[in-house]
Each structure stands twice: as C-alpha cells, then as structure tokens.
Amino acid sequence: MRKEMLVALRATFVTLVLTGLVYPLVMTGLAQAIFPGKANGSLVRDEKGSVVGSELIGQVFTNPSYLQGRPSAAGNGYDPTASSGSNLGPTSKKLRDRATADLERLHKENPDAPGPVPDDLITTSASGLDPDLSPAAAMWQVPRIARARQVAPDRITEVIRSRIEGRDLGVFGEPRVNVLGVNLALDQQFGKPTPLAPPATAPSALQLTK
C-alpha cells in the first residue's frame, strides 16, 4: 500500500509540474516570441502609442463622426466579463421593442443613408463583443460621417474600403471591417472630431464621448 501511494504521489507531482507549469510556460514563451501582439490581446494603439482598445472587442461610439458597431447584450455593452447574447427568442416583446427602438434611432441619425438598415446594425452577436461590421453596414453610415466631418462622402468610402478584410484563408467567414480600426483611420486622415458634450445628467466629466 505504501509503495502504491508513493507511486501515485510521484505521478501526480510530475503531471502537475508538466501540465500545470512547464507546458503553460513553454506555450506562453512561444506565443510571445512568434506573435506577441495577438498573445497580448491584439491591443490597438493610437498615434501617441496609447492603448485605445483591442481588435477583438467592440466599443460604443456615439459621436456621429465615427462608425458605429453592432448592438451588444454583454453586460452594459461589450463587457468581456459578461460575454453573451441576449438569449431572447423571436417572439420576445423585449427583443422586438429593442430592435424597433434601434431602428428608429438609426433612421433618425442617418437620414441620408441609402436603402434599408443592414441587419448587423440591429442584431446583436452571440458573444456581444463583435468588433466588426459587414462592409454594407459600414458604407450605410457614410453620409452621416461625411456630414459630421464636413468632407466628401467619397473620401469616407475610400477609407472604409481600404480597411475591408477578406475571408480568413480565403474560405472562412465573411468580408468585414474592424470598427475601431476604421475610426482610427478616419482620425488619421481627417483629424479628431470635437468631443460631444456630456449629458446634463452625467455624473462626471469622464462620460464617454467617443
């Protein structure tokens, strides 16, 4: 019995060291050496080198000079600690009311937009963190952005087209644009817009104005 216990303890110790210490350290080291950007969260920096977000997690943009992303049901919006969809079914009144309100808001904010509102500007993703839009949803917002930045719509379209990403390996997924990437490109091309004034009921000056 004692011999069997010692063998079991040695096997447990070796397994813990190999799988709980050596393997994670080796994989982390390889990741940092081969693709450090992705290993560190695909962080995005502005022209000053400050971290402004991640390529993998969406953000809320309310300034009309910026591209707006998909709605999010994760926490209070794009919360990586509460990643999820709304889990509301097609017969849900709450879902219908939310979609109707978003549709009305989008039409009000984009009076010159061509055609119907693209689906991905109304529907949330399964994760609630989707940082991308379809090219059609991005192009739909061009008139509003051009008007807010006081530039020709063709110039906004050119920036968006330059940021379109194709299918992964030419097969997987759909063409898309990263919302944060486009907004940074717009700032680089046309300068940063004037921040929106915080609402009168805002508790502090730290209210997001992006």
Give me 206's structure tokens: 């730290």
Instruction: List, in order, residues 6 or more apart from 6 with CB less than 8 Å away.
Output: none
Give me 128's structure tokens: 């609630």
Dihedral sign (CA 130, 132, 135, 140): positive
Name the strand (E) or helix (H) holding 68: none
pLDDT at 201 (0 to 100): 53
pLDDT at 208 (0 to 100): 44
Would strands 164-165 and 176-178 be described as parallel, antiparallel, or unpaired? Answer: antiparallel
The answer, as to whether pTM is greater than 0.85, is: no
Domain residues of the chain, as ranges? Answer: 1-40, 42-190
Give me 151's structure tokens: 């530039």
DSSP 81: G
Q: Say how far apart CA 197 and CA 31 lie, in whole Å.
A: 42
Name the strand (E) or helix (H) holding 54: strand 51-54
What single letter denotes the amino acid at residue 7? Answer: V
pLDDT tens-place values along the chain, 210 residues long: 788 888 888 889 889 999 998 899 889 888 888 877 777 778 888 778 788 888 889 999 999 999 999 999 888 889 888 898 888 888 999 999 999 999 999 999 999 999 999 999 999 988 999 999 999 999 999 999 999 999 999 999 999 999 999 888 888 889 999 999 999 999 999 998 887 766 555 444 344 445
Residue 130 near residue 69 (C-beta atoms within 8 A): yes
Candidates 82, 85, 62, 63; CA nearest to 72 is 85
Query: Among the residues of the chain, which ranges form H helices?
Result: 2-17, 23-34, 36-39, 93-109, 135-140, 142-149, 153-162, 179-190
pLDDT at 197 (0 to 100): 67
